[in-house]
Amino acid sequence: MQDDYPDTLTIRHNRAYWRGEAGELASAAEATEQLLDDCLRILGPDHRTTLTARNSLARWLGEAGDPAGATEAAE
């Protein structure tokens, strides 16, 4: 399945990143949360891409005004 390719995961991360940069914080957080779930399933919890997705999720949640969610995502 193409959705499981590592390059596809990177592209999804980039799309979510630019949504956040455009001010679509809730959309960026939602997309990143879905990405993180897939990264965990495909790559495992310690992979660099998974850790980057986790960090990005914490960022978007924090910027969207959800410090508790950001803290949870970063743990």
What would the mean pLDDT of 54-73 be, rounded to a whole number? 95
Structural element, H or E, at residue 6: helix 6-21
Q: Please state the domain extents for the chain.
A: 2-74
Rounded CA separation 46/64 (Å): 26
**Per-residue pLDDT reduced to its tens digit, 22-42:** 999 999 999 999 999 999 999
Report yes or no on whether pTM surpasses 0.85. yes
How much is the pLDDT for 1? 52
The CA-based dihedral angle spanning residues 75, 48, 56, 58, taken in that order and rounded to the nearest 10 degrees? 0
CB 17 within 8 A of CB 56: yes
Rounded CA separation 45/24 (Å): 27
What would the mean pLDDT of 17-26 be, rounded to a whole number? 96
How much is the pLDDT for 62? 96
Q: How confident is the model at residue 6 (pLDDT cuts 50, 70, 90)?
A: confident
How much is the pLDDT for 5? 83
* 2-74 has CATH 1.10.10 classification: no
